[in-house]
Amino acid sequence: MRDSVTFLGTSDGLPSPGRHHASLLLEFAARTILLDCGEPCSHTLKRMGKDFSAIDMVVISHTHADHIGGFLMLMQSMSLEGRRRPLTVWMPGHAIRLMRECLDACYLFEPQLGFSVKWIAFDKHSAMRCGPIQLRAFRTTHLDNLRKQYGVPRPAVQFDAFSLLATGGGKRLAYSGDMGMPEDLRPLCTKSLDLLVVELAHFQPRELVEFLQPKDVRRVAITHIGRPAWARLAEVKALAGNVLGPRKTLFAMDGDVVKF
């Protein structure tokens, strides 16, 4: 099977009648990684016929509800579908204790789950391996303004969001997570990319395409499209085609599969 990304949810943070929240399935170098768990990711995985036991790792880029809202049901689904393999969950460290408590509150104790969970914090481990895949996390500025506004009275909360670079088998894929500005992509683009999956909810489309124009990126899949860009999608597509080239950019919809 060729390496691919399956888009389970492509909406921004607002509820949408036609798009689910942020989640995508990366099948790469014979490994399967779920990137973000926006709801209803478990329903979508089941509808697509995906094997819950095949998921090697879950990566949560940050803990906004539209990126983590489906996590509890995902864990219950894995349990009820008979998963027995250990699962690695890589996420912001401040939320690990809270997520474990939420699982307990939902009666999903580890003996009840039927599989063990290895929790790993971004702030302690910014690089990971998943079989032949090397993964590196890079902090973005997505939550910087929120930190300035609310960080002082909440010292236990880390206002951190991360992007991800995955390399293996001579291929390079990047996932932006959520960003504060296109400049957050710079550490992902220091070398050529086979595929960049990038959000478009927190800055203007022209900022993104002009940043990417000189970069060596073979294919760009735009997801998490905010309502302002969605309302003028034809115009945004034309802009991307003019600046990046008509064949280079895909505007992802739920269910799309991009091979690389």
Residue 1 is predicted with a pLDDT of 61
DSSP β-bridge partners for residue 174: 165, 196
Contacts of 194 by beta carbon, 8 Å cutoff, 6+ apart: 171, 172, 173, 218, 219, 260
What average pLDDT does this structure show over 216-244?
A: 97
Residue 2 is predicted with a pLDDT of 85
Choose among 164, 101, 107: nearest CA to 134: 164
Length of the chain as a residue count: 260
205 pLDDT higher than 90: yes
Q: Which domains are seen in the chain, by residue range?
A: 4-259 (3.60.15.10)
Residue 154 is predicted with a pLDDT of 81
Q: How many CA atoms lie within 13 A of 194 on its CB side?
A: 16
Axis crossing angle, helix 96-105 with helix 71-80, rounded to the nearest 10: 50
Asked whether 38 and 7 are in contact (CB, 8 A), the reply is: no
Q: Per residue in 86-130, pLDDT tens?
A: 999 999 999 999 999 999 999 999 999 999 999 999 999 999 999
Tokens of 246: 């008509």
d(CA 101, CA 96): 9
Query: Residue 81 — φ and ψ, nearest 5°?
Result: -85, 0
Q: How far is CA 35 from CA 112, 197, 209, 247, in A?
A: 25, 11, 23, 25
Say how many Å lie between the first and final Cα of the chain, rounded: 11
d(CA 36, CA 158): 18
What average pLDDT does this structure show over 146-159?
A: 88
229 pLDDT higher than 70: yes
Number of Cβ within 10 Å of residue 97's Cβ equals 11
Q: How far is CA 3 from CA 78, 97, 98, 186, in A?
A: 23, 33, 34, 24
